[in-house]
Structure formats: C-alpha cells, structure tokens
Chain A
Amino acid sequence: IDSEDDLLQECISSAMPKKK
C-alpha cells in the first residue's frame, strides 16, 4: 500500500510546475 501511495505521490509531483 505504501509503495503504491509513494508511486502516486511521485507521479503527481512530476506533473507539477517547477518553482520559478
């Protein structure tokens, strides 16, 4: 479960814009 959540979190973060 944890690793699934981590994977999901990583995926969401990867789509976020980078700090300007």
Chain B
Amino acid sequence: PTPPYLKWAESLHSLLDDQDGIQLFRTFLRQEDCADMLDFWFACSGFRKLESHEGNEEKKVKLAKAIYKKYILDNSGVVSRQIKPATKSFIKDCIGKLHVDPAMFEQAQTEIQTLMEENSYPLFLTSDVYLEHT
C-alpha cells in the first residue's frame, strides 16, 4: 500500500483528506504564521455542510458572523489580506442583510485554496517538517 505521506504529495486535496496530513500541514503553516488559512478553508466547508440542512437559520447567521469576524473583518489578518476586496464586500453585504447564502463563502474559499495550491502546498512538500516526517 502507498504510505500516507506519498499520497499527501499527490494533491492538496489528498493532503486535506487525511487527519495526519492536516496536522502536519498545520504545523508547517503555523511556522509561516498562516495556519488561519487552513482553518478558514475548513470553516467554509463546514458552513456549506450546515447550509445543506433544513432549518437552524439562527445558527447559520451566528456562524457566518463568527467566520466573518475572525477571518475577514480585520484587514491585516492573513486570510483577509489574500481575499479580493469585491469578495469581502459580497460577504459583508450578505451578513448585513442577514442573508446567509450557501455560496456566500465559496469565492473566498476558492481564493484561499488557490493560494495554498500555488504557494503554501508546494512549499510544504519541500519543507523540513514534511521531509523529516518522510
């Protein structure tokens, strides 16, 4: 069988599909001061999952606000700095109108994912954290 660490090198998706891979990637991102990108990515996925359930509107609004406050509101945050102004405005509008749309974080998640795929992920695969693990 293929060892997990080789699977992690196949794609970002393979890495994020494995608990140990996530943990190691987080260790690396912490060193780079950008672990929030990973948490934001998972928060967006979790939000979408919640969205697919009926009801619970109050919880959805509360969660959308919490995600916005923690990762997007502060322009100096590592996530906020990477998200396009138009995307941030869109999310802010949704929150302001208390209109929690299933797609409200999708664009922001895609932007962060692209950045991880093009930047953090390749760096991770050549990092000491990963190489020592292998």
* Complex contact B17–A14 (CB within 8 A): no
Q: How far is the CA of A2 from the CA of B16 in the complex (A)?
A: 27
Q: A4-B62, A7-B59, A8-B63 are in contact. Are A15 and B19 (CB under 8 A)?
A: no
Does the CB pair A8–B70 fall under 8 Å? Answer: yes
Q: Determine the residue in chain B with the shortest Cβ distance to A19.
A: B19
**How many of chain B's residues have a CB under 8 angstroms from any CB in A?**
22
Please, what's the 1-or-0 string for B47-73, where 1 marks a CB less than 8 Å from any CB in chain A?
101100000000100110111011000
B45 near A15 with CB under 8 A, answer yes
A contact residues around B16 at 8 Å (CB)? 17
Shortest CB-to-CB span from B84 to chain A, Å, is 23
> Bound complex: CA of A20 vs CA of B17, how far in Å?
10
Nearest Cβ distance between residue A1 and chain B, in whole angstroms?
Answer: 10
Chain A interfacial positions (CB closer than 8 Å to B) = 4-5, 7-8, 10-20
A-B contact pairs, 28 of them (CB 8 A): A4-B62, A4-B69, A7-B59, A7-B62, A7-B66, A8-B63, A8-B66, A8-B67, A10-B46, A11-B42, A11-B43, A11-B46, A11-B50, A11-B63, A12-B42, A12-B43, A12-B46, A13-B46, A14-B49, A14-B50, A15-B42, A15-B43, A15-B44, A15-B45, A17-B18, A18-B19, A20-B18, A20-B19
Which residues of B approach A to under 8 Å, CB–CB? 16-19, 22, 39, 42-47, 49-50, 59, 62-63, 65-67, 69-70
